[in-house]
Amino acid sequence: MPSPLILVNLKTYKEGTGNRAHMIAQAAELVARESGATIGVAPTLIDLHPIAHHFAIPVYAQHVDGVEPGAHTGHITADAIRTAGAVGSLVNHSERRLTLADIEASVKALQAQKLSAVVCTNNEATSAAAAALSPDYVAIEPPELIGSGVSVSKANPEIIQRSVATVRQVNPKVRVLTGAGIQSGDCVKIAIDLGTDGVLLASSVVKAKDPGVVLRDLVSRL
Ligand code: G3P
């Protein structure tokens, strides 16, 4: 059984960019080492290469396009993500919505580079569609709770339970994350007890005065 994944999406928060991205990655590496937990970060594309090279934690891109290297201005290829040292990428976040065809192309591009695909979804139907593409993870996040400070684990545990069941039914090899408002060890424990393989979160760590304190709390009940 791989250990649960705590994946921190730095989004484009000012508090998660540049020096702060390094500071958060450093705290994540320290807490991961102390606790034995798996803590990953998804920095902006600008910070991807330096973070992946400076730290021994799993680093993910926030987006990848399903295109081959070549004449595609402004695109992000899976090949470039792998070269930068990332282990995978988020695909289709509520803040970066893609069509099903785009999601499929992105997942295939990641798989071709042996990178991990974390497809974000917003309900059970999209979770089922995502699971059918056989990504490594489906991450279910009710959009109304994202950045709200209200945890999906406490406000809507039913959606976690139903999504886990849906994904398992479509493809039992796909692991499930959940996110939105995750902020404490209690939230993580509830999510794992409901059958997930970890959490995807952002603001509680990124906007914290001391991200290390929040990270320690997040892994405290694993
Ligand atoms: O990708 C994680 C994210 O959408 C959840 O955000 O701020 O509610 O933890 P947050």
- pLDDT surpassing 70 at residue 1: no
218: CA distance to ligand 1 center in Å?
Answer: 14
Report pLDDT digits (tens) over 47-60: 999 999 999 999 99
- Beta bridge partners, 179, equal 200
- pLDDT surpassing 70 at residue 155: yes
> For a pocket test of ligand 1, which of 90, 137, 182, 206 has the largest count of ligand atoms closer than 8 A to its C-beta?
182
What CA–CA distance (Å, rounded) separates 103 from 47?
23
What integer best gives the mean pLDDT of the chain? 97
**pLDDT at site 71:** 97
Mean pLDDT of all residues in 67-80: 97
**Nearest CA, atom 4, ligand 1:** 146
**pLDDT at site 59:** 98
Report pLDDT digits (tens) over 167-181: 999 999 999 999 999
- pLDDT surpassing 90 at residue 2: no
User: Do 132 and 121 contact (CB within 8 A), yes or no?
Assistant: no
| Ligand 1: lining residues by beta carbon, under 6 Å | 9, 93, 141, 146-147, 179-182, 200-204
| This prediction's pTM | 0.97
Which residues are CB-neighbours of 222 under 8 A, at least 6 positions away? 3, 4, 35, 37, 185, 188, 189, 192
One-letter amino acid for residue 7 of the chain: L
> For a pocket test of ligand 1, which of 141, 145, 178 has the largest count of ligand atoms closer than 8 A to its C-beta?
141
Give phi and psi for 119, each to the nearest 5: -90, 120
**pLDDT at site 47:** 98
Report pLDDT digits (tens) over 130-146: 999 999 999 999 999 99
Collapsing DSSP to helix, strand or coil, 198 comes out as: strand
Q: What is the DSSP letter of 16?
A: G
- pLDDT surpassing 70 at residue 210: yes
